[in-house]
A and B are shown apart, each in its own frame.
Chain A
Amino acid sequence: MLFEKQPSLPLLVCATCRGVGQLRFRRCPECRGLAAVYAPRGRLLFWHYPLERYHLALVGARRVFNIVRLIIVAVVGANFWFWAAMIFYRRLGVLANVSVSSLASALRKSDDVSVLFWLGLLTLLYLVSRLIRERQHPAVVEPYHYGKEREEKRLAAESWSAARRVPSRRRLNIALTFTDEARAALGAAYRLADRYTYNQVTALHLIYALLSFNRISNIFIRLGIPARSLAEALKPLLSRRTTTTGGRHTAPIAGEEFFQILFAAYEEAYAARQDYVSVTELLVAAIKASSEIQEILYDLNVVKQRLLNVVEWARIRERLWRQYREFRKVARRRSAKGMDRAMTAVATPYLNQFSEDLTLLAQFGHTEPCIAREREIEEIFRVVEGGQQSVLLVGDYGTGKRSVIEGIAELMVAGKVPGRLRDKRLVRLSISTLLSGTTPAGAVERLIRIMNEIARARNIILFIHNLHELVGVSAGGKQSLDVAGTLGEYLSGGRWLTLATTSTEAYAQLIAHTQLGTVFTKVEIPEMDENQAIRVLESKVGYVEHKHQVFFSYDAIERAATLARKFLRDVTLPGSALELMTEAASFTRSQKGANSLVAGEAVAAVVAQKTGIPVTSVGADETAKLLDLERELHRRVVGQDEAVTLVANALRRARAEIRSTSRPIANFLFLGPTGVGKTELAKTIAAVYFGGEERMIRLDMSEYQDKSSIYRLIGAPGEKGTGILTEAVRARPFALLLLDEIEKADKDVLNLFLQVMDDGRLTDSSGRAVDFTNVILIATSNAGTQYVLEQLRQGVATEAIKEKLLHGELAQYFRPEWLNRFDGIVLFKSLSREDIRQVAGLMLKRLARDLETKGIELVVTDAALDFLSEVGWDPEFGARPMRRALQEKVENEIAALLLAGKLKRRDTVELGAGGKIAVQ
């Protein structure tokens, strides 16, 4: 997606002073220094920062002069005091003995000293005033208004007379909201336009100037483009000089186009709720304004969303840093002794043995900020404010339940929580410490003591991580009270607030509908979507970068989120993506060394290593292999061109990622008599594309002939990890699934595959969805073989046979909607005598390879092949008779020769006419 062109803002640029705001050294009489105005939201925004040579030179000189002035003033002030002290000391020295009275008389005599002293003081006060004034930022971007537009009188800025009438409280000079850096960038852009003899400053100059700023070059590095190479790409545009008029160079001015950029940058900052307009906003506005630059960026794979996301990333980092500093300031004021400010709390020495204080950890900076969970935290606070005593966070492993709790701990330290949580301690009960070294009865006793202490302390918010671990720890027989029961009893009293977490599965099995379940209000923590996960990664990437001494490109972060979601289904986002990010960092560090950039490909390579799924971009070797896939497959499969072409096309589509990602890569049904190569083709695909025959999941469907066999495929109800099919695919999501002799399976088992073929997923008995979208499903069947052979014997064309087979013969085995799910149904042809001859050749090659390991060479003559195809051909049984013939006529003989010692290393065996074997 290209950038959309910025809709132009209704600006009014003064024609008299041409947007400078002054004529020579006087204020412009027309605009009165407003230069350019825009009136949104009932305010008059104007630009007063003359972009012309004199003013920019003045600004630059003023910056240097201010520093010089500070130094001079400081030196002068210090001098006054130094001389005052010197004179006073000398005068004191003249008086013989120093006493109080002599000191007083010295002071009385020293008019000059006190004058010097007061002058020094005055000078230093001036220094103070300068320092304070220079540190004050003159203006900020107006605060963002949520929801509907404010009901303010709209200001009209159609004419200068109207603009001049706007009262000053409604005016804002947006130039004052630009950071020093942003203003420096504007100056650099102007000087660039001047140097290249342009008559107007344009977006191109601004972008080129921006590239020299650290913050901007960092953004492009994150996008995988060094700023220098982008500058090289832009340079030819600079020297084209299209705006010079009349061939004469005058000082450039900021035209209407440039003012559009300045005001758009302000609007950008306003929409992003920034306080100031920084170089990043200028960059976004400048790019939006120039289609030429967009084209260049598009060629470099920088599209709108990616750029905006990286800009947002930079903002997140700044915001986190700002929040962190504020947090540290507040945290310092909090008591570290677990006491509330009013000293109404009670110390909890016993509880402390079995717990850790999360608020204390947060106070000393040992927790990580919680990102992109504002909605969930708000929901928890709503429940708490609603008067509920206990909240249970339910979510799968890796969704970040603990991180939500740590986020709450930080908010508690900062005091940004509902009243019931303010000035309290969030204490995590350690279940392992509670249960260790004691019997369940002992644990119950400990728990009771802890609960009593919490009740007395009155400032404890209890947190139990993995609540389900307490369930089932029983003090006696089956019916007796267990630890969870005790907890439930105390919690139902509602004397303090409890937060707890558990997994979705454990909640359903162990907690819902129990006493514990009724005590808690459930708050779901759903898996993050990709954008939320990207935000989390962006917030945590700094730590990983620091640890591994590498830099992440935006591409790497984005792919970590998307690939983790797609291929690492066992752990949920953002946990899986974080894991991937860390591994990609150490992978890059080990491959390229320190200070290198982690690219998206590195993340893909890690995923490929973990899952075996080829997700990296296709290399040259692989391209050649894919384009020539048919020949590769034909090395092992004789004939069956239709099937081979069908499969090869499916694989190419899959690798080029032009396929539906919500279905398996392909679903094929191979029909045909026995021994014609159905299974062999499947094995060949596994070897060629999936990297080995062991990557094939093979199920003999004759073993699944009754209804109960469904549970063998997906697992027995309530027992995790017992499904043969689901577990195999979970372990190897990228594989070939071969369902042999499918017609023998029970009808309900077949129905199971309807869903697999349609949605690419299957839910196992424990409720977990298994992903089948990276699987090639191949079913083979002998159904209707007799019919096919008969028809073939009668000389009916294959197409006609297939047509009749699908509409007649197969109906007794498969329902039409089931057959309809396949991408291709291929009828394997019987092997001709010539085919069989080739098969013999292939089989003998395999034998030759085996003999070669023994140092024996095998030579096969044409006559021998003729003979074998004579003996081993049977159109009804395909290639299997050939295997038998080969065994009887060749392998048996060679084995006998070997055992008798007549065949030694370096011998050559020649297979001649009639299957004769000669040793040379």
Chain B
Amino acid sequence: MHFFNQKMASRFSGAVQIANLDDFITPSQECIKPVEIKKDKSRTGSKIRIEEDGSYVNVSGGVPEKLARVDITLADCLACSGCITTAETVLITQQSHDEMLRVFRNKEAENKELVVVSLSLQPILSLAEALKLPHEICLDKLCGLLKRLGADMVVDMGIAEDLALIEEYKEFTERYQRFINGDKSALPMLASTCPGWVCYAEKTKGHLLPNLSSCRSPQQIMGRLIKGYLSPQMSPSRIYHVSLMPCYDKKLEASRSQFSVEDSRDVDCVVTPVEIMSLIKDVCGEGGLQTEDDCALDWPWVEIEKCQPLTRHDGSGSGGYAQRILSLTAKGLEIESVPKFENVNRKTDMQVSHISEKGQNLKIAVVTGFRNIQNLVNKMKRGTCDYQYIEIMACPTGCLNGGAQVKGQLKEVEKAFSELPLRDVANLEDLYSRWLGASDSPKVLQELHTTFEAVTYNPNPLGIKW
């Protein structure tokens, strides 16, 4: 027999934790799952002694036999009648920088023809600050490192962020129209780009799912671009796609069944700044990242105007969704001075802007952190929520403060972010027509949107925690 026995500390956002995802293993009650490796039909039962060091010894045969420990896998976990969800451990072992390196080093054995790494903005700022490097240099060196380790292509996620903003606004105008035409359930629209919030909503607030934006997050749009558009002749399973993201919850998002085609995940592995820091320690030698060669980002999107890396959209550090909805709505209403976002309760983790001109009464909010999410959800339940669009992020103040960003430097990262040059959403009509046919084709729904499903509480009666 083999045994599992492990401990762990949670690194997911508060929203994910409270949604009971990782509630099944507590530090005092470890996962201990037996796996039968041989069956001795002649004996009934077996006698096992626990040694002082915690190892197990089978003493039912003649000679005491020390039992080995093995690692847990997703398959074991799902087959286990005991604790059901050890999703965290499983995700972290299946989507770690070690796993990424393993595939990088065994491309042929793993049957991978093309290895692509997509970079989001917030982790680069976090790494640059942690390594005390100017962010341009940090980006070039990181690119060089990833190429040296085996990446064929390193790309910026900006193009996917732009697509997400375009689709988000399209959905808002469509919902707003429905709302004006009498469908009061069309609003508020709740951003769904944060997987921590989505997980919490699916597990505990199923009634809110129709209000969630159906737009894919930039990570998952990037997934479709890489696996569905970049080289359509290549089977998606031949491409290994890694994304660098500011939080662990993104690993969860990448694992959603909605984001796999032909059993191949659009994003195979999500790594985070915290992991890149330990990767640098492991593979860069004493000189650190500085000693890597400089390398520029790839731009594989033929005939599409290049999107400048290390630029940002106006608004929050989480993508600027609310700001863009606000700006475009104000523009549509021909309002000249766009109202600003104001802090609610002297804290920066909740902000609201109010369009009250021209007979309008529109409120657009940025709600971050579990506490504010909770209050928002309660307001919606009581019918006192008067916002029309809400950018929701599980981490307090948003993605710059993502759960896997390097700790203790939020202020510096926020400052670096605020100093980045602003950019507008690119004109991507060419991309729409090449890839999706048209901006309103059914393929847009298929490639750039997704669905949500309420998770009904259906406990294994033998595994209920009490």
Tell me whether A and B are bound partners.
Answer: no
- Contacts from B to A (Cβ < 8 Å): none
